[in-house]
Amino acid sequence: MCGIVGYIGSNNIKDVLIEGLQELEYRGYDSAGIAVLQNTDFAVYKAVGKLENLRNKAASFAPEGFGIGIGHTRWATHGKPTELNAHPHLGQSSYVVHNGIIENYQELKNELVAQGVSFLSQTDTEVIVHLFEAYLKTAGSPFEAFKQMRARLEGAYAILLVTTSEPETIYFAKHGSPMIVGRNRGGEKFFASSDSPLIGLAQEVVYLKDGDFGYVTPAAITLYDGSGNPAAPLFSTLPESKLSAQKEGFRFFMEKEIYEQGEVLADTMLGRLKEQEVYFEELDPQLFAGVNEIKLCACGTSYHAALASSYLFERHARIRTSVEIASELRYKEPLLSPDTLFVVISQSGETADTLETLKMAKAAEMKTLVICNVDNSSMVRLADASILTRAGIEKGVASTKAFATQMAVLWMLSLAFAKARGTMETGAIAEQIRHLRELPACVRVDDALHERIKRLSKRYLHGHGFFFIGRDVFYPLALEGALKLKEISYLHAEGYPSGEMKHGPIALADPELFTIALMPKNMLYDKTKSNVEELSARDSTICAISDKPFEKADDFIPIHDREHYMLEFFEMMVVLQLLSMEVAVRLGNDVDMPRNLAKSVTVE
Ligand code: F6R
C-alpha cells in the first residue's frame, strides 16, 4: 500500500525524497509525487507509473540549501491512478500526503464544498488539506488548525502536512497506518512508512503509535499522544542492513508476510463494512442484476481461494457457483453464458492462463469481475469491475497474505451478493460482519503457538508423504496447506476431502504417512473426526489442528475456541503457513525463493 517520506534539512532534498520512495517501492504503487518547500515557494512534481517517470519530470529541479519536503507513492483506492489523484494534494498554501483511508471523507467533502471549496481530485485525501486550511482561518496557529482537522478524521491514516505559514515545520499524525520519524547528529529529520528509507540517513527513530501526532522542526520533534498529552519521543537505533530492515526483523519475507496478515486484513476491510451490510464502493450495483450463476476461475493458491469461496456463495447467496482451474478452462470449450458472472482471482493480475480465460469471458459477453492485489494490472484493466485486495506487495514466492485478503474479499462479496438477492436476513449478515471484524485479531501470531510449531516441525522432515484433510471450506484450505508445504519444503503433500480418504488413499496409511487433520469445532466436527479415526486405526501419524483436544492424535496444535467456522478457517490458515515455513527452514531451503518457482507466471 502507499508509502510516505518526509525530510527537513539542507542535503539535496529531492534525492532524499525520491530515493526514500524507491526504498518503499516494495509496498506497491501506481503513481508518485513530491512537494518541496523552500522559504515560501513550493516545487511539486507528480507522475503516474514508475518512479523513473517522477525522476524524469523533476530532472531540472535542483534545490539548494535548507528546505522541507514530503513524498508519496500511491496505490489507488479512491479514484484512478492519475496525476491529479497522486499525492501530495494542494490546498491554497499547503500540501498533504496520506496513507490509509478517510472513511468519513464524503461527509467532510460535502461540508467543505458547501463552504465554496473546490476539489481537484477524486481522492479521500484531499479533504485533509482543505479541512486544515478551513480551520487555519480561525485557529490561532497552524498546529491548532492541524489538531482541529485531525479530530474530525475517521478511518486510518498516516499524514504529513506542510504549509507556507510555517515553512520549517512538518505536521504529522498517525492512526492505523505506519509512520516512523528519525533524526541524525547533523540535525536532519526524516519521516518514512518503514525503516528502509532511513537506513544510512537517520541514526535514531521513533516508531509512532496509533493516535500520535505533532510536528517536527530543524530544532525538535514535538510529540503528543492519542489523548492530546505531550509525550517524550522514545528513540530506538536503526538496524544497519537495508535488506534486514525491509524484513523488519523477520528471518524471511514469508515470515513477515504471515505476521502482517492482521494489518493487511484490516486494510482489506477498511471502508467496506457497515453495521448491516458489506459495501464495495468500486462495484456498480448493476453488476449483480440478472446474474443467475457465478463462475470462479484462477490458478494455484488463488484457485484454492476460489474453491473455498464457492461454498460461501452457494450457502449465503443461494446462487449456483462453479470453480475452474484457468489452464483447464481455456481448452475445454466451456459453456459461457451471459447470465453468469465470471470472476477471476489473481494476486498479480498477470497470470497468463487466468488472463486468457478473462478474455474468453469478455468475448462471450459475460459480466466480468477481477479480485486482484495489483491495480492497473492486465486483469484489472480488462475486467468490467475490480476489487483490490490491498495486501501490499508480497515478496515471498509462496503466497500467504495475498490468499488471506482474497478470502476476506470473497467472504465479504458473498454477503454483498446475499444482500442483493435477499437470501440472508439482515441480522444474519450483521452477525457475519461482526465475525469479519474479528479477523485481524484472529490471525495474529501468538509467540507460544509459533514456538510450538517450530518444535513440532522436526518430526515432519521425512516420511513418504503428507495428506492434509478437511471438509467443506476446510478441504480447499487443506489443498492450500499441502501446496504451501510442497512449494517450500519439496516434500510430497496432497490435500484431500476427509470423506474421500477411504475411497483409495487410505491404502497408503502407515506410520510414515503424515495426516494433517483440520478439525474445526463449528463445521462437521464429528464427520471429520470419524475420518481421522479411520486413518489413526491404520497407524497413520496424525497431527490434528483443532480447538477440541483429540486423543487419537500423535501431535496436536490447538486453536482458539471460535464462534464461527470462518474464524477457525483463518486461524488454521496461519498454523499451516507457519508449519510449512518451519519444516522448510529445518530442511535448509530457500523459503522466500523456492526452486523452480516464479512469483508471477506470465507464460502458459
Ligand atoms: C502459490 C502461489 C501460486 C499462485 C498462482 C496464481 O503460493 O502463489 O500458486 O497463486 O501462480 O498466481 P496469481 O494469483 O498471481 O494469479
How far does the centroid of ligand 1 lie from the alpha carbon of residue 176, in Å?
A: 28
Residue 251 cell numbers, joined:
528471518
As beta bridge partners, residue 215 has 171, 222
Q: How far is CA 342 from CA 361, 371, 411, in A?
A: 7, 11, 17
* Per-residue confidence (pLDDT) for residue 602, from 0 to 100: 64
Q: For strand 189-192 and strand 3-9, is the pairing parallel, antiparallel, or unpaired?
A: antiparallel
Using the atom order of ligand 1, give the atom closest to the CA of residue 351: 16
Q: Please check whether residues 94 and 204 belong to one and the same domain.
A: yes
Using the atom order of ligand 1, give the atom closest to the CA of residue 599: 8
Rounded Cα gap, residues 150 and 170, in angstroms:
14
For the Cβ of 487 lying below 6 angstroms from any atom of ligand 1, the answer is yes
Using the atom order of ligand 1, give the atom closest to the CA of residue 300: 9
The length of the chain in residues reads: 604
Is 442 one of the annotated active-site residues of the chain? no
Q: Name the phi and psi angles at 161, rounded to 5.
A: -135, 135
How far does the centroid of ligand 1 lie from the alpha carbon of residue 252, in Å?
A: 19
Q: Please check whether residues 223 and 268 belong to one and the same domain.
A: no
Report whether pLDDT(242) > 90: no
Of 241, 263, 287, which one is at a domain's C-terminal end? 241
Q: Indicate which residue's Cα is closest to atom 10 of ligand 1.
A: 301
Name the residue range of residue 421's domain.
250-444
DSSP 300-327: HHHHHHHHHHHHHHHHHH--EEEEEEHH
How far does the centroid of ligand 1 lie from the alpha carbon of residue 399, in Å?
A: 7
For the Cβ of 348 lying below 6 angstroms from any atom of ligand 1, the answer is yes
Q: Please check whether residues 50 and 170 belong to one and the same domain.
A: yes
Domain of residue 52, CATH code: 3.60.20.10
Q: Are 195 and 238 in contact (CB under 8 A)?
A: yes
How far does the centroid of ligand 1 lie from the alpha carbon of residue 379, in Å?
A: 14
Nearest residue to 561 (alpha-carbon basis) of 576, 571, 573: 571
Rounded Cα gap, residues 29 and 50, in angstroms:
8
Q: Please check whether residues 65 and 208 belong to one and the same domain.
A: yes
Of 346-350, 403-407, 462-466, 468-472, minimum mean pLDDT range: 462-466
**Residue pLDDT, tens place only, 318-367:** 999 999 999 999 999 999 999 999 999 999 998 989 999 999 999 999 99
**pLDDT, mean of residues 304-328:** 98
**Residue pLDDT, tens place only, 513-536:** 999 999 999 999 999 999 999 999
For the Cβ of 347 lying below 6 angstroms from any atom of ligand 1, the answer is yes
**pLDDT, mean of residues 377-381:** 88
How far does the centroid of ligand 1 lie from the alpha carbon of residue 411, in Å?
A: 19
Q: Please check whether residues 519 and 417 belong to one and the same domain.
A: no
Q: Name the phi and psi angles at 171, rounded to 5.
A: -95, 140
Of 422, 444, 466, which one is at a domain's C-terminal end? 444
* Per-residue confidence (pLDDT) for residue 597, from 0 to 100: 79
- Report helix, strand or coil for 380: helix
For the Cβ of 302 lying below 6 angstroms from any atom of ligand 1, the answer is yes
Is 299 one of the annotated active-site residues of the chain? no
Q: For strand 155-163 and strand 94-102, is the pairing parallel, antiparallel, or unpaired?
A: antiparallel
* Per-residue confidence (pLDDT) for residue 76, from 0 to 100: 78
Of 241, 275, 297, which one is at a domain's C-terminal end? 241
Q: Please check whether residues 542 and 515 belong to one and the same domain.
A: yes
Q: Please check whether residues 286 and 160 belong to one and the same domain.
A: no
Helix (H) or strand (E) holding 581: helix 565-586
Report angle CA 421, 414, 394 to the nearest 5 degrees. 155
Q: How confident is the model at residue 374 (pLDDT cuts 50, 70, 90)?
A: confident
**Residue pLDDT, tens place only, 536-587:** 999 999 999 999 999 999 999 999 999 999 999 999 999 999 999 999 999 9
* Per-residue confidence (pLDDT) for residue 241, from 0 to 100: 65
* Per-residue confidence (pLDDT) for residue 448, from 0 to 100: 95
Burial of 70 (0-12, 13-18, 19+ CB in 10 A): buried
Which of these is catalytic: 209, 359, 362, 599? 599
Q: Please check whether residues 424 and 451 belong to one and the same domain.
A: no
* Per-residue confidence (pLDDT) for residue 392, from 0 to 100: 84
Domain of residue 562, CATH code: 3.40.50.10490
Q: Please check whether residues 48 and 182 belong to one and the same domain.
A: yes
Which of these is catalytic: 2, 297, 372, 442? 2
Of 201-215, 236-250, 384-398, 424-438, minimum mean pLDDT range: 236-250
Question: Considering its fold, how many domains does the chain have in total?
Answer: 3
Q: Please check whether residues 431 and 515 belong to one and the same domain.
A: no
Q: Indicate which residue's Cα is closest to atom 11 of ligand 1.
A: 300
**Residue pLDDT, tens place only, 45-90:** 999 988 999 999 999 999 999 999 999 999 877 788 899 999 999 9
For the Cβ of 299 lying below 6 angstroms from any atom of ligand 1, the answer is yes
539-542-548-551 Cα dihedral, nearest 10 degrees: 40
Q: Please check whether residues 450 and 435 belong to one and the same domain.
A: no
How far does the centroid of ligand 1 lie from the alpha carbon of residue 468, in Å?
A: 19
**Residue pLDDT, tens place only, 122-159:** 999 999 999 999 999 999 999 999 999 999 999 889 99
For the Cβ of 263 lying below 6 angstroms from any atom of ligand 1, the answer is no
Q: How far is CA 121 from CA 50, 69, 87, 99, 113, in A?
A: 20, 21, 10, 16, 13
Q: Please check whether residues 427 and 561 belong to one and the same domain.
A: no
Helix axes 474-489, 300-317, angle to 10 degrees: 170
DSSP 484-525: HHHHHH---EEEEEGGGGGGTGGGG-STTEEEEEEE-TTSSH
Using the atom order of ligand 1, give the atom closest to the CA of residue 398: 7
Place of cell 519521516: 191
How far does the centroid of ligand 1 lie from the alpha carbon of residue 594, in Å?
A: 13
How crowded is residue 234: how many other Cβ atoms within 10 Å of its Cβ?
A: 11
Using the atom order of ligand 1, give the atom closest to the CA of residue 348: 15
Of 179-183, 300-304, 371-375, 472-476, minimum mean pLDDT range: 371-375
**Residue pLDDT, tens place only, 487-501:** 999 999 999 999 999
* Per-residue confidence (pLDDT) for residue 593, from 0 to 100: 87
